[in-house]
Amino acid sequence: MFKSQLVYKILGFIPKGKVLTYARLAELAGMPKGARAVGNVLHKNPDAPRVPCHRVVASDGRMGSNYALGGPAEQFKRLKEEGVVMIGDKVDLEKSLWHPPENLILNLTNL
DNA sequence: TGATTGACAGCGT
DNA sequence: CACGCTGCCAATC
């Protein structure tokens, strides 16, 4: 059972206009220190089309460098269109960082 | 089975 | 404030 699957699932739960950092995503996936692992998993990204990776940003609020859908500019534009608050060329994590509901966390734990 | 990789995070300089 | 080094985890070769 690959944890990546759980990561993808969580990504699917992220509402429009909100983003999640790799660290937070990793934490939700059960890897408190596995931000890198998450990145690696997404890098392979066997389910690229069904995974909104553009809603995943780094802890600084910046997006991934080797983004696969068309580059950072594309991701940036898309986030902006979704309603994500941007500060310069970064994301305002204070306002656009998704706060996952507890029931969802319990659900993930149950998985 | 073991070693290396890779879309990161955090702290120090 | 910007840049660099180290630590971590899972997936892949």
SS (H, E, C) chain A: CCHHHHHHHHHHHCCCCCEEEHHHHHHHHCCCCCHHHHHHHHHHCCCHHHCCHHHEECCCCCECCCCCCCCHHHHHHHHHHHCCCEECCEECHHHHECCCCHHHHHHHHHC
Strand C within 7 Å of which CB atoms in A 15-34?
30-31, 33-34
**pLDDT category of residue A101 using cuts at 50, 70 and 90:** very high
Assess whether pLDDT exceeds 70 at residue A98: yes
- CA A53 / C1′ C12 distance in Å: 21
Contacts of A87 (CB under 8 A, 6+ apart): A61
CA-to-CA distance for A79 and A83, rounded, in angstroms? 7
- CA A69 / C1′ B8 distance in Å: 19
Assess whether pLDDT exceeds 90 at residue A103: yes
Assess whether pLDDT exceeds 70 at residue A94: yes
Comparing every residue's Cα with the C1' atom of nucleotide C7, the nearest one is A33
Please, which positions of strand B sit below 7 A from a protein CB?
5-10
Mean pLDDT computed over A3-8: 93
pTM equals 0.93
Provide the residue type at A47 as one letter: D
Q: pLDDT averaged over chain A?
A: 90
Which residues of A are identified as catalytic?
Answer: 53
Write out pLDDT tens, residues A58-88: 999 998 776 766 778 888 999 999 999 999 9
CA-to-CA distance for A93 and A107, rounded, in angstroms? 25
